[in-house]
Chains A and B, each alone.
Chain A
Amino acid sequence: MTSTNRKALLTLPADDQILISREFDAPRHLVYRACTTPELVRQWWGGQRGVVTSVEIDLRVGGAWRYVLAANGGFEVAFHGQFRELVPDERTVTTEVYEMPGVAPEDLPATLNTTTFVEADGRTTMTVLVQCPDRAVRDAIMASGMEGGMNESYDALEQVARSLA
Chain B
Amino acid sequence: MARAATTTDAFNAVAEPRRRQILDLLAQGELPVAELVQRLGLAQPVVSKHLRVLREVGAVSVREDGRQRLYRVDGRALKPIFDWVSHYEALWAERMDALEAVVMRLKQEEDQR
Q: Decide if A and B are genuine partners.
A: yes
Please list the residues of chain A having a beta carbon within 8 angstroms of any beta carbon in chain B. Answer: 1-3, 6-10, 12-16, 18, 20, 22, 24-27, 30-31, 33-35, 40, 43-49, 134-135, 139, 141-146, 148, 161, 164-165
Q: A8-B92, A31-B99, A148-B91 are in contact. List 8 more A-B contacts (CB 8 A).
A: A8-B96, A10-B88, A15-B5, A20-B92, A27-B107, A142-B84, A146-B84, A161-B91
Cβ-closest chain A residue relative to B17: A13
A125 to B93, CA, bound (A): 14
Would you call the interface of chain B mostly helix, strand, loop, or mixed?
Answer: helix
Question: Which of B17, B87, B107 touches A30 (beta carbons < 8 Å)?
Answer: B107
Across the interface, do B88 and A33 meet the contact criterion of CB distance under 8 Å?
A: no
Q: What is the total number of residues of chain B having a CB less than 8 Å from a CB of chain A?
A: 38
In this assembly, does B44 line the interface, its C-beta being within 8 Å of a C-beta of chain A? no
Across the interface, do A48 and B94 meet the contact criterion of CB distance under 8 Å?
A: yes
Cβ-closest chain A residue relative to B1: A15
Instruction: Please list 22 pairs of residues, one from A and one from B, whose beta carbons are closer than 8 Å in the complex, sorted by A's number.
Output: A1-B78, A1-B81, A1-B82, A7-B96, A7-B97, A8-B96, A10-B92, A15-B12, A16-B1, A20-B89, A26-B104, A30-B106, A31-B103, A44-B95, A44-B98, A45-B95, A47-B94, A47-B95, A47-B98, A145-B89, A146-B88, A165-B90
